[in-house]
Structure 1
């Protein structure tokens, strides 16, 4: 029976490898290069033991830094590199894996490929098995290349292997989560959304575990708190490559992977192709008047995604606002930690620098929202739902423009929500409500510029290469974050950092706003979007 369920797996695996011959190598090589670049940056930025101890003492006193990095475990080259970038590499492996699994399972069903494949001699589990084989292979290759790259740089072999396996284990864990999401949801976009939310939640839980960890007697290493043990990304950092090399921790992702994969196969036996375990609710018998316009239709399709992001960003704004009264006191006796916060936030008063750094994170979240929102264009086209709309009096530009307006409005609304919620809580606590609302609201709104750039970028991809839009959109977003948010850490040349739109946002409220960068970013966003609109008008629809 099991053999029949797996009939055709080998051929489907070869097909999946052919489809991913560009995407997966880019993810794997990019992640490997990033790790090697981080190692070089660590050697240059922290050449002496004293430099490293000072940096780590600063970090353990700054929860915001630990949320972005992870708990430090030592001062060797490997320890410092793991502290700087290990959690972020686990996130990249997670996105690589979830996108691949959904692409070869739920997306095939959504586009009708699974029905064509199912008309041949193919077992019920063949498609999911092929997707997991390809994804598992990609993570094994990634783990091996990471280990070899680090060994080639002179790091200990055991720690290098532990580093690579930790990242690969995170990728496999999220692949299994995506496999379950593909069975539960009724569309590729929803499955990707569930998987992305799982990655974000895992990163946040890991960050809380590290931020509230216990500082060791030496004053610069930490033991993570219990929340880290609840996170797949936390499992990666708890392996402690180059410090403890705790191989037993890898049992956790292995057991989790096996359990979720078994769940995915069990769910696959209980649903029809094209359907999800959570059935879509039927709509009302009569459509609302707003659905008569492309803008109204786009809003109806996008509002669930926007509300979900609004809850997360609103809570984040309240959290950073509640810390306003403690920032000055927390770093009053630690000039090193204060200096780090000022460097992250562009200088100025300590509290202003803190808000600048935190709102930059909100800007990255808003850019992630617009990428997800604009990718609805591709899912609508691939699902064959655009043709009936365009068969009416609705033109292509009006249809695409509706989604563009909703995404841009959503980004601005999310940023304003973050700024106002942070300003409201901070102002009520410090007695300067009016000033905080204005300052933090403006500081949040300037973060809209990178989000608008990402909208233009996705529109350009949609018009130029529709079948590669999803992969290249997320890849471009990841590259922008690495160059913009980690460029200084990785000691990248300024010319490379300038490629990212996040590098050109004014550091409000720490510094005065300058109009020139914002105007230039706006011009670039308009140019990218206009080019994409023109290309979309001239190409055929592609499934």
Structure 2
């Protein structure tokens, strides 16, 4: 039974004595590790291997100091690339690798905060935290277990990252410093996620607060790094936890003291989160929920109106983010094409990535392919929102009315299809605008890159359809859609470099997306991908109508 407003949750007691505040933490640790036994190793191994792969690529493409210096003077020092990836300190393979892996800290931070929110506020919202709290469970156990697992995962990621870089032939000191910086960035945002989970009564609200804080940190770092190292706005990067890892200057004049910044920041945030976690009501947050109107508006008369209400904030956030990303990527395209002239090996790699004979177009095609992977994450998230509504117990009352199962699920799937199309269209438009301005041909580049962005949509729909099928057929394993996305990312990033067999590359739907920039292409693969997505969505609707709700 939930506590009434104004009454705090009773604390567990054993034989008349107050239980330790951390009692039961070990049991919760084992429970979290069991639940994440598949997802946790996947993202750790996937992210750990990326920096080492970048180091091997740079060592092969730029074996001499002169070639690395030319690359540094052209691409690595381009303001748009520095703003996106971060500063570069020197022309060594290690320094270039650190910059190339600049977005790794952002990804690790996002995974860390989402993991903590899922094991704290999501559990509380679903009612499972209350059931556990009725046992001998200390008041700090839930938050502590979630943080410890996430901290340990980040430490392991840092160790594997450092080991991979050393195995790639880079110096040990710089490798350890870079790995520690990445790990501590994950620790920072895991702690931020722990605090966000105390501030609002819904998991979606906690994720919104956490992602908002991450977005603010990224904007501060982007603004501070846009002027390069030593620029007048560099102080903004020192305000961002995402900028601290780069300020350690791995493989240059290492600054080990910078590692104290994320440690101290995490400690301060934790000192706020823990007292708040026991002073609020169970099921409530620090910020009170806003009362809605007495009667629902006409827009909430059906399942689609409700789905729009649930998805609109997320759609707006992703659209704005993709627009900004497109502007940055488009602004860097012209310089990226010029910087690799004369390096045939790099030209071949870029051609594989972007599928174009023109290097600037290969860069644009490659970056839009990576953008499509991010859009697939949005599509999966939108499809899995249906499962989240089910586990929260909000589906059964709706289905007890005249709303059919197919209509309810289809309302959510509309956003799993429409959302990625919208954000990729915005990304293509923004990229075309920025690139068109740089080459003085907005009228020609804007529609061309809009088409290139939309060409990525069918492959994204396949992953969204797979997530929908898991929701309808195997709901307990619906989180496996994220593992599929991770596999596609791994194949896309390392497949060409490792020279994997074509059948392995073909496992990713993104391999079949035609490259529409700078060459002739056929619409047949797009039609085939669209048909595959339609089949998956149809199976999702059919299987959802036949299974129990909720599925234990």
Please state if 1:15 is matched with 2:24: no
The 8 Å contact of residues 379 and 416 in structure 2, kept in 1 or not, is answered as yes
Note the residue ranges of structure 1 that are not aligned, 5 or more in a row. 216-221
CA distance 1:328–1:452, change in 2 (3 Å): closer
In structure 1, the residue matched to 2:313 is 304
- Give TM-score scaled by structure 2 length: 0.83
Q: Aligned runs of 1:129-528 on 2, under 5 Å?
A: 129-203=144-218, 205-214=220-229, 225-317=234-326, 323=331, 335=341, 343=351, 346-347=355-356, 356=365, 359-360=368-369, 362-420=371-429, 435-470=444-479, 472-484=480-492, 487-488=495-496, 494-528=502-536
Between the two proteins, the alignment pairs up a number of residues equal to: 532
Higher alpha-carbon deviation: 421-430 or 154-163: 421-430
Report the aligned-residue RMSD: 3.6
Aligned match of 2:537 in 506, 529, 536? 529
CA distance 1:3–1:171, change in 2 (3 Å): farther
In 1: Cα distance, 2:63 partner to 2:473 partner: 46
- Give TM-score scaled by structure 1 length: 0.85
The 8 Å contact of residues 470 and 540 in structure 2, kept in 1 or not, is answered as yes
In 2: Cα distance, 1:118 partner to 1:534 partner: 38
In 2: Cα distance, 1:214 partner to 1:491 partner: 36
- Give a deviation string over 1:455-503, Cα, whole Å, max 9, x none: 1121123234423434x33333343334335654666555444433334
Q: CA deviation at 1:435?
A: 4.2
In 2: Cα distance, 1:306 partner to 1:83 partner: 30
In 2: Cα distance, 1:205 partner to 1:337 partner: 34
Higher alpha-carbon deviation: 49-58 or 388-397: 49-58
The 8 Å contact of residues 77 and 88 in structure 2, kept in 1 or not, is answered as no
Q: Secondary structure at the match of 1:5?
A: coil
In 1: Cα distance, 2:57 partner to 2:499 partner: 6
In 2: Cα distance, 1:468 partner to 1:100 partner: 17
- Give a deviation string over 1:108-151, Cα, whole Å, max 9, x none: 10111111111123222221111112211222222223333444
CA distance 1:381–1:80, change in 2 (3 Å): same
Higher alpha-carbon deviation: 53-62 or 490-499: 490-499
In 2: Cα distance, 1:318 partner to 1:163 partner: 28
CA distance 1:521–1:56, change in 2 (3 Å): farther
Higher alpha-carbon deviation: 43-52 or 344-353: 344-353
The 8 Å contact of residues 323 and 426 in structure 2, kept in 1 or not, is answered as yes
In structure 2, the residue matched to 1:118 is 133
Q: CA deviation at 1:404?
A: 0.8
Q: CA deviation at 1:67?
A: 4.8
Q: CA deviation at 1:171?
A: 1.0
CA distance 1:122–1:59, change in 2 (3 Å): same
Q: CA deviation at 1:259?
A: 1.2
The 8 Å contact of residues 206 and 233 in structure 1, kept in 2 or not, is answered as yes
CA distance 1:476–1:289, change in 2 (3 Å): same
CA distance 1:3–1:206, change in 2 (3 Å): farther
Q: CA deviation at 1:409?
A: 1.9
CA distance 1:297–1:351, change in 2 (3 Å): same
Q: CA deviation at 1:262?
A: 1.4
In 2: Cα distance, 1:26 partner to 1:334 partner: 33
Q: CA deviation at 1:504?
A: 3.5
In 1: Cα distance, 2:260 partner to 2:436 partner: 47
In 2: Cα distance, 1:149 partner to 1:401 partner: 44
CA distance 1:134–1:509, change in 2 (3 Å): same
Please state if 1:32 is matched with 2:48: yes
CA distance 1:152–1:304, change in 2 (3 Å): closer
- Give a deviation string over 1:185-217, Cα, whole Å, max 9, x none: 3222332344344445544544554443149xx
In 2: Cα distance, 1:88 partner to 1:39 partner: 15
CA distance 1:486–1:188, change in 2 (3 Å): farther
Higher alpha-carbon deviation: 18-27 or 334-343: 334-343
CA distance 1:223–1:48, change in 2 (3 Å): farther
- Give a deviation string over 1:174-194, Cα, whole Å, max 9, x none: 101111121123222332344
- Give a deviation string over 1:388-423, Cα, whole Å, max 9, x none: 122223232221111111231222233334444565
Please state if 1:72 is matched with 2:88: yes
Note the residue ranges of structure 2 that are not aligned, 5 or more in a row. 1-10, 12-17
In structure 1, the residue matched to 2:99 is 83
Q: CA deviation at 1:154?
A: 4.7
CA distance 1:498–1:66, change in 2 (3 Å): farther
In structure 2, the residue matched to 1:218 is none
In structure 2, the residue matched to 1:219 is none
Q: Secondary structure at the match of 2:286?
A: coil
Q: Secondary structure at the match of 1:397?
A: helix
Q: Aligned runs of 1:89-100 on 2, under 5 Å?
A: 89-100=104-115
